[in-house]
Structure 1
């Protein structure tokens, strides 16, 4: 990628980089070419990314920097492991089956309701009364379940126990 100032100043995104701070050996994040942004130049700015999007980028960059080179690998491995745990646990419940149970899943999988006594929407509403977000109804008998990094095996157990008792 060409990184000359003329080209960089025309990019339609906010740009962030590293710069030394007041502490020796320490670096922090800075807005590069700030004067070309809509924040500095208003209607004459060339970037189209809002503050919220830029802040999300800073959060992602900070997360990656704090966790080091192996951080993303560790994070994805833990999500994969918890997703596999959730699949095994929920597929073992009477009245429920996970679609493509023997295939690898990352974060998301479809849980089918087998008995037809309740619709997916009804089941999710009942879970919500227990402050459990069980997923998104894909059809009358299917729920999309997502296992994110903020969920633990205890959270998965809470969901499984609630499903057993509904």
Structure 2
């Protein structure tokens, strides 16, 4: 059975974007980006909501761009090689290869996907991740906390959720970010 990993970058006060929906304050340094590349190499399928899909689809366009720095090209290669399931009630087509649309999140379907997968699954976007966390489907949480306080926005973790966690790893990065990796007990 594959694991479902929720990995995100967030502010010190726990937001993935600010009140205006911006996340320019969250740009990872090269070493943190390399961590996410290493993670992407283990992911066979990503689960995304529409907004996260629209944010990440740029990697399809960047894939193969000759002027892309090597650390970004490596991430693009890993990301393009994975399958994507996009949960959206408004998109008709995902617009990229290796992706499909599902109209709504179904915990039973995701559990079956985990049971059948030979590689881990990643879930992106806090709204979709909240559904998976609440359903008890997430096996690992990775928060890359950046040195910024943004005051409001979209929370990385849902309010009202209670989980017991086991620390697997913590690392610091040159720009002051801290990676916290937890297993969900």
TM-score interval, smaller chain = under 0.3
Could you say which structure has the greater relative contact order, defined with CA pairs below 8 angstroms and 6 or more residues apart?
2
Q: Which has the higher helix share?
A: 1
Q: TM-score, normalised by structure 2?
A: 0.22
Q: TM-score, normalised by structure 1?
A: 0.23
Task: Compare CA radii of gyration and give the structure with the larger one.
Answer: 1
Q: Which has the higher strand share?
A: 2
